[in-house]
Amino acid sequence: MAFTVRTRSSTSRARTGTLHLAHGEVQTPAFVPLATKGTVKTLEPRDVVALGYELILGNTFHLLLAPGPELVAEIGGLHEFMRWERPIITDSGGFQVFSMGHGGVADEIKGRRGRPGGDHGSGSILAIDEEGVRFRSYLDGGERFLSPEGSMSVQAALGSDIALVFDECTPFHVSREYTERSMERTHRWLERCLRWHADHGPAGQVVYGIVQGGVEHDLRLLSAACVASSASEGIAIGGSLGREKAQMHEVVDWTTAELERLAPDRPRHLLGIGDVDDLIVGVELGIDTFDCAIPTRLGRHGVALVPDPSTGWRADLAKGRWRTATEPIQEGCRCPACAGGFTRAYLHYLLRAGELTALRLVTLHNLWFIARLMEDLRAAVDAGRLSEVAAALRAGAAPGAVPADR
Ligand SMILES: [Zn+2]
C-alpha cells in the first residue's frame, strides 16, 4: 500500500498521511504545483524544493506532442529530463483532449466561459469512439490518436510515480444522458488502463482511477463505487464539479463520503482545484492532494495571494495603486520575494515593464503562501484543531502564522 493515514479528524473527514512513492514520500494533505510542460513555469526544481513541495504534476497531453515520450525516455524519464528528483504525478491527457471538444471545459471548470478551445489554440477533436480519441495537434495541425492504452504507455515512458487513468472529462453544459454514457465509457477505459498497466507498467508506478458523473448525485456514487471496486491504488475526482463553488463542494462531499465508506485507506486527489477557500473545504472533506494552475498562473499575471478573504485572497500588483507602495507583497512573509525586501512598487514597475523577474518573484510568493497554508492545515488536523485553524484562515489569518499547538 502506497498510503498511510496518520491522523483522522474527529470533527470532519479530514486526515493527514504519507504517500510512499518510488521517488520519496509526500506529506498530505498537499498541494501539487503544475509542471505542465516539464517545468514549474519560471522556477528551477531547487526553487520548488526550497518552497517545501514534494510532488509536482506533469502533463501527458503536452509532453506527448512535444518533446515526445520517446525522447524523454531516452534521456532517462521525466525526472532526469527536468532534473526533479522527487515524486511526479502525470495526468492522463483526457482532460486536455476533451477540453478541445467541449468548448473549453478547462475554462468552464475554472469559472471562466466562452473561450472555445480553452488554452489549446487551434487543436480540435476529430472523433471519439470506444477505442479512443482522434484529434488535431495544436502544435502542427497533425492528426494524433490517444487511447487508454496509449495514455498509459506515454505515462510509463515518462516514468511518473503516479499515473492517472484515461477518462472523458465531461463539462457542465452537457445533458445527463451524455454524462452517464460518458461515465460508463470512462469506467470501461479504467479497466483497460489497469489491464495495460498490470502487463506493461513500470515497477513502482501506481495508478489512480478517476471518479466522474458530473453534478448528478447518483452517478457520482455509482462512479465512486466502480473506481473503489477496481484495482486502482488511489482515486482522483474529476470532471465538472458544478457551476459555482457551493455546488462543487457538494459534489466533492458526496464523492468523498462514498469513498470514505468504500475505500477509506486509499488516497484521494481532487483534480484542478486550488483557490484558498476551496483548499480549506477540500481538506475538511477528506481530500489528500490537489493540483491547480491558479497559484502559478496568477503569479505570471502579477496577481499575488494575500491573506485577505475580501479580495478572494488576491492582490493585483499591476494595478496603479501600488505604483509607490513601499511594503512587500505581504508583511511578515518569509518567501524569497518578501524576505528579499522587494517592494510592491518595484514589482509593479517590473510588471508594467514586462520584466520576467516579476513573474518569478510573484510565483515564488504564491507557491510559498499555498505551501504554508497546507502546512497549517496538516498541523491543525494532527493537533485536533482543524475547525479553529480553518476558521482563522477563512477570516484572513496569514498562513504560517497560525499556531496549531497553542
Ligand atoms: Zn511573500
The pLDDT value given to residue 16: 98
Ligand 1 centroid distance, CA of 24 (Å): 27
CA of 190 to the centre of ligand 1 (A): 41
Q: Is 405 a catalytic residue?
A: no
Catalytic member of 91, 167, 278, 288: 91
Residue 270 CA to ligand 1 center (angstroms) comes to 26
Catalytic, 47? Answer: no
Cα–Cα distance between 390 and 12 in angstroms, integer? 12
- Cα–Cα distance measured from residue 122 to residue 136, given in angstroms and rounded to the nearest whole number: 8
User: How far is ligand 1, taken at its centre, from the CA of residue 43, in Å?
Assistant: 15
Q: In CATH, what class is 3-292? A: alpha beta
Selecting among 47, 291, 382, 405, the annotated active-site residue is 291
Cα separations (Å) of 5 from 13, 224, 268, 380? Answer: 12, 20, 12, 15
Q: Which residues make beta-bridge pairs with 207?
A: 163
Beta-ladder partners of 27: 18
How far are the Cα atoms of 326, 331, 374 from residue 345, in angstroms, in the given order? 6, 14, 29
Give the model's pLDDT for residue 8: 98
pLDDT at site 246: 95
- Report CA(361)–ligand 1 centroid distance (Å): 9
Give the pLDDT confidence score for residue 123 in this predicted structure. Answer: 76
Q: What is the pTM of this model?
A: 0.94
Give 336 Cα–ligand 1 centroid separation in angstroms.
7
Q: Are 118 and 169 in contact (CB under 8 A)?
A: no
Distance, in Å, from the CA atom of 74 to the CA atom of 81, rounded to the nearest integer, reads 9
CA of 45 to the centre of ligand 1 (A): 19
- The ranges assigned to domains in the chain are 3-292, 303-394
pLDDT value of position 243: 85
The pLDDT score that the predictor gives to residue 173 is: 84
Instruction: Quote the pLDDT of residue 115.
Output: 36
The rounded average pLDDT for each run of 10 residues, N- to C-terminus, in the chain (406 residues) is: 92 98 98 98 98 97 96 98 98 87 50 38 80 91 95 98 94 90 96 98 97 96 98 94 92 98 98 97 98 97 98 98 98 98 98 98 98 98 97 97 61
Residues in Cβ contact with 320 at an 8 Å cutoff, skipping those fewer than 6 apart: none
